[in-house]
Amino acid sequence: MRATRVLSAALLALGLAAGPAAADSSPSPSPTASPDGSAPTQAGTSFRTATEMKQGQPATASGSTGDYLYWSFPADVGQRPTVKATVKLPQAHGAQTWQLDVYDGLRRRQACQYGADPRTAAQDASQVELACVLRTVRGWAEPSANDPLPGTYYVRLTVVDLGATDLGQPVSAEVRVDSKDIGGAGAVDGSLGRPLVPGIAVTSGEKTDGAKTAVLSSFGKNDGWSSGWWSDRWVWTGIGAVLAALAGIGGYALTRGSGRPSRVPPGV
**What string of pLDDT tens digits covers the 268 residues of the chain?**
444 444 444 444 444 444 433 333 333 333 333 444 578 999 999 999 999 999 999 999 999 999 999 999 999 888 999 999 999 999 889 999 999 999 998 899 999 988 877 899 999 899 999 999 999 998 877 777 888 888 999 999 999 998 888 899 999 999 999 998 876 555 555 566 667 777 543 444 444 444 443 334 445 544 445 545 555 666 767 788 888 888 888 887 888 765 555 565 666 5
Residue 140, classed as helix, strand or coil, is coil
Model pLDDT, residue 242? 85
Model pLDDT, residue 28? 33
What CATH number is attached to the domain comprising 118? Answer: 2.60.120.380
Model pLDDT, residue 41? 93
Residue 16 lies in a domain: no
- How many domains are contained in the chain? 1
Residue 173 lies in a domain: yes
CA 186 vs CA 50, 112, 189: distances in Å: 29, 17, 10
140: number of CA atoms within 13 Å, CB side?
A: 10
**What span, in angstroms and rounded, lies between the C-alpha atoms of 227 and 150?**
8
Model pLDDT, residue 83? 96
CA 41 vs CA 48, 52, 57: distances in Å: 17, 11, 11
CA-nearest of 57, 78, 103, 24 to 226 is: 78
Model pLDDT, residue 189? 55
Residue 209 lies in a domain: no
Alpha helix locations (H) across the chain? 2-25, 233-255
DSSP letters along 205-225, please? EE-TTS-EEEES-SS-TTS--
CA-nearest of 149, 178, 182 to 83 is: 178
Residue 40 lies in a domain: yes
Domain enclosing residue 162, as ranges? 31-182
Model pLDDT, residue 157? 96
Model pLDDT, residue 196? 72
**What span, in angstroms and rounded, lies between the C-alpha atoms of 46 and 61?**
14
